[in-house]
Amino acid sequence: RDINDSGVAVGLIIPATWGTMPNEPVAFPVLIRGPTGETTDLGFVSTTGGDLSINRKGEVAGTRWISKNKFHPDRGVNRACLWSATRGVIDLGTLGGDQSWATDLNDHAAVVGYSHLTNGSIHPFIWKEGEMKRLATPNNGEGGARAINNRGEVIGDYTLGGIQAPKSFRQLEKKFQRWAFEGLGWDYFPGQHRYFLWKEGVSIKVDTLHEDKASGHILIPTDINDQGEIVGSGLFSHQKEEGVFLLTPAQEDHW
């Protein structure tokens, strides 16, 4: 699922026979594998749809599956967790609901993802130093965080729900330098959400960060590096073409 700069990879152990029998498990052991082939079982299981991310220190963010019924392996809950060699598995909790999912972490062990609230809605979070905090979204829209860099900048998505983005987004746009924009290759995405970059409690709509706003682009970011470069997929030319993109801060400026 992921690999760090030292060549340590994290993934699942899935039997070759999986998918051929009834009442099979829905979650599998998570392990890391070093560059020389040594493996370590991390002590929790995760579903095939769960994200796993490993940082330079070898810490892993993932989503632990907790089964609620041994006779029905598909009945259970997901909980975001953080694993390290010194502390083992840490349950990151939730935003008040039953379930949470981790999607990424940085080298400072800050974890991002999404979680249920007490009312069942799903919202993005950041967890660091033992505390999970909800990330603000426009009009309180549901969504999730996708990635975080070592500067603490987070990218994610929220549901538009037919409500126009708040005025604060248009005002924030004026505070940033112009961005270079270029389309790269092709990919597919559904285009049912809007996407944000979050830092220090403020959300900025990703669609406002590039200079070619007249073209009607819709951008879906998937990752951000420490230089603030954002990659993802999108709809271009007034949403008539599908592709992938790279957003680069002009003149090496940052958020």
Going by pLDDT thresholds of 50, 70 and 90, the confidence category of residue 177 is very low
Residues 245 and 204 in one domain: yes
Per-residue pLDDT tens over the stretch 103-118: 999 999 999 999 999 9
Residues 124 and 186 in one domain: no
Half-sphere exposure (Cβ direction) of 241: Cα atoms closer than 13 Å: 12
pTM of the model: 0.80
126 lies in a domain?
Answer: yes
- Domain extent, residue 60, equals 1-134
Please state, as a whole number, how many other Cβ atoms lie within 10 Å of the Cβ of residue 14: 12
Per-residue pLDDT tens over the stretch 125-137: 999 999 999 998 8
Cα–Cα distances (Å) from 141 to 23, 40, 166, in that order, read: 36, 39, 11
Going by pLDDT thresholds of 50, 70 and 90, the confidence category of residue 206 is low
Domain boundary among 105, 134, 163: 134
What pLDDT does 19 receive? 72
CATH code, 15: 2.120.10.30
CB 172 within 8 A of CB 202: yes
Q: Which residue has the tokens 């954002």?
A: 230
Residues 123 and 6 in one domain: yes
Residues 42 and 79 in one domain: yes
Per-residue pLDDT tens over the stretch 183-194: 333 333 333 457
- Sheet of 154-159, strands arranged across: 143-148, 154-159, 193-199, 202-205
Please count the structural domains in the chain. Answer: 2
Instruction: Tell me which of 4 and 22 has the higher pLDDT.
Output: 4
